[in-house]
Amino acid sequence: MKSMTGYAKVQSAFGDKKLNIEIKTLNSKQLDLIVKLPASYRSRELDIRALLGRLERGKVECVISEETSAASAAAFNGDLLAARFDALQSLAASLGAADKQALFNTLAAMSDIWTSASDGDVSDDEWHQTELDLQRAIDLTDQFRQHEGDVLEKDFHRHVDLIEQKLQQIPAFEAERIATAKERIRRYMADADVKEVDENRFEQELIYYFEKLDITEEKVRLQKHIDYFRQTMADEPVCGKKLGFVAQEMGREINTTGSKANHVAIQKLVVEMKDELEKIKEQLGNVL
C-alpha cells in the first residue's frame, strides 16, 4: 500500500550550473501534474510530464530550478553593440546629438546586447543528466509514499481488527435478543387482553417475525468484506479506490445490522463499528 503524500529533493551540477529538482505530492482523484521549469527546459516539458506519470495518481508538483554563476549568467555581445554604435554615430552627429556616452548607454541597455545563458534550449548532455536526476527524485518520492502507506496500513489493520472484535461479540446477545422479543410480544398480547392463544400459530408468527430480524447474512457478509479488505491491502500496492468500495460495503452491512438489531447491546456494538469505519474512511482518500 502506498500513500499519495510524498516529497523528494535532488540537487546536481552540470558545468557551472546547479540544478534543483523538487517533487511534492498530495491526494487527488486522478493524476494532476503541475510542472514549473526554467526557460531552457520548456522544450522538454512533455518528456518531464511523461516521466512523472510513474507516480500514477495524486496532485504532483514538480519544480526544476537552476542556479548559474554571475560570470556566466549572461554573455555580452560586444560586436553587435560596436556595429550599432558605428552605424548611429554619424547620424547622431548630423542631427546635432554628439553625446557619444549617452548613445553608448542607450545601446548597452538593449536586451539583445545581453544574451542570457538560459535563453537557449538545454543541451542533450545536460538533459540526459537531468533525466537521470529526475528519475532518482521520482524514486525517492515513491519511497516516501511507500513509508507513509505502511503507516496507514498499520492504522487500517487496527481499526479493522476492532470492527471484527465487535462483530464477534454480537452472537453472545442473540439468544437474549430472541427471548426478550418473545416476552415483549406476549406482554403486548396480555395488555390487549387476548384470552386464547393458539401456540402453534403463535410460534409460526414468531418464526416469521424473527426471519425479518435475522442478521446472520449481514454478519457473514461483513466478515467477508473484512477479510477482503485485509487481502487487498496485502496484495495490491495501488488499492485506494478498491478499499473505498469495500469500506462502503462494510458500512452497508453494519447499518443493516443496526436497523435489525432490536437490542441495546447490539446497537451499541454497531455504533462502535461505525466509529471505527469512519476513521478508516477519513484516511482512505490519501491512499494511492
DSSP 111: G
The predicted structure's pLDDT at residue 208:
65
Q: What angle do CA 35, 41, 44 make, to 5 degrees?
A: 80
The predicted structure's pLDDT at residue 39:
84
The predicted structure's pLDDT at residue 183:
73
Q: What are 150-209's pLDDT values in tens digits?
A: 999 999 999 999 999 999 999 988 877 777 767 777 666 666 666 666 667 666 666 666
Percent of the chain at pLDDT exceeding 90: 53
The predicted structure's pLDDT at residue 14:
83
Q: Based on the number of CB atoms within 10 Å of its own CB, is 19 exposed (0-12), middle (13-18) or buried (19 or more)?
A: buried
Higher pLDDT, 248 or 188: 248
For the entire predicted model, the pTM comes to 0.72
Residue 83 φ then ψ, to 5° = -65, -40
How far is residue 195's CA from residue 120's CA, in Å, rounded to a whole number?
Answer: 102
Which residue type occupies 130?
T
Across the range 240-247, mean pLDDT stands at 95
Which residue, among 134, 62, 59, 63, has the nearest Cα to 288 in the 3D structure? 59
Instruction: Say yes or no to pLDDT of 56 above 60.
Output: yes
